[in-house]
């Protein structure tokens, strides 16, 4: 995978936890108990897709512009996208998308949960 910075970047964000879902073979990243990103592994435990939450309109535009961005792998195709881990999506763009996924899910939490997460810097 060419994006070897993802784990460090996501874990540096406030309140992020990660787990490994054996049944799916996914490394999942959560905020407030809700997943916002995942590294989907193949049968050889190598990254197959990077899946993340996204705004529907932006998702559509990204899929039109980048062949390495597809509708969410095993997820809601409107609200999730998947990125080829060895593709040509620029690092800066992927980092921006991961940041937006975090913010999107954080914004869906209660105001109290948001405050608790943001206060624990």
Q: Report d(CA 80, CA 59) in Å as an integer.
A: 8
Q: Is the pLDDT score of 120 beyond 90? A: no
Question: What CATH number was assigned to the domain covering residues 6-119?
Answer: 3.90.1150.30
pLDDT digit string (tens) for 87-105? 999 999 999 999 999 999 9
pLDDT digit string (tens) for 2-22? 899 999 999 999 999 999 999
Q: Is the pLDDT score of 37 beyond 90? A: yes
> What does the domain layout of the chain look like in residue ranges?
6-119
Task: Label residue 120 exposed, middle or buried (CB < 10 Å: 0-12, 13-18, 19+).
Answer: exposed
Q: 0.85 cut: is pTM over it?
A: yes
């Amino acid at each position: 995978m060419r994006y070897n910075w993802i784990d460090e970047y996501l874990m540096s964000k406030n309140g992020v936890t990660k787990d490994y879902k054996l049944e799916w073979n996914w490394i999942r990243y959560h905020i407030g108990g809700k997943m916002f990103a995942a590294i989907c592994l193949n049968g050889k435990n190598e990254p197959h897709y990077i899946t993340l939450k996204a705004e529907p309109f932006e998702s559509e535009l990204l899929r039109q512009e980048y062949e390495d961005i597809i509708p969410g792998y095993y997820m809601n195709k409107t609200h999730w996208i998947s990125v080829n881990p060895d593709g040509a999506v620029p690092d800066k763009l992927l980092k921006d998308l991961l940041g937006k996924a975090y913010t999107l899910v954080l914004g869906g939490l209660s105001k109290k949960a948001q405050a608790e997460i943001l206060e624990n810097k």
